[in-house]
Amino acid sequence: MALMITDACINCDVCEPECPNEAIYQGVEIFEIDAKRCTECVGHYEQPQCIEVCPVDCIVLNPAVAESQDQLRAKYDALTRAKAAAASEAG
């Protein structure tokens, strides 16, 4: 499953720079997670880094986005390929 940030978020901004997939962004009221980019850090770390650093424990599994570990890995692979292609085009 992708993760989501609940309305308990205090906008401390510690989660955003920790996300290796750049899935976290400042929303209208609180930080939000783009489910299309969130892999729960699969492919990068053993544990989701945003959860590790969140001081108020407001990051939870998003029940609307059910994904298996294989699906998260496939999403990580696709994001990695897209990032490499973009870097190749820029360079």
What are the extents of the domains in the chain? Answer: 3-90
| 10-19: pLDDT as tens digits | 999 999 999 9
42 class by beta-carbon count within 10 Å (0-12 exposed, 13-18 middle, 19+ buried): buried
pLDDT reported for residue 53? 98
Report field, pTM of the whole predicted structure over 0.85: yes
Q: Which amino acid is at 76?
A: Y
| 34-83: pLDDT as tens digits | 999 999 999 999 999 999 999 999 999 999 999 999 999 999 999 999 99
The domain over range 3-90 is classified in CATH as 3.30.70.20: yes
Q: Give the whole-angstrom CA distance, residue 51 versus residue 5.
A: 10
Q: What are the b/e assignments for 9-35, b being 16+ CB within 10 Å?
A: beeeeebbebbbbebbeeeeeebebeb
CB contact at 8 A, 13 and 78:
no
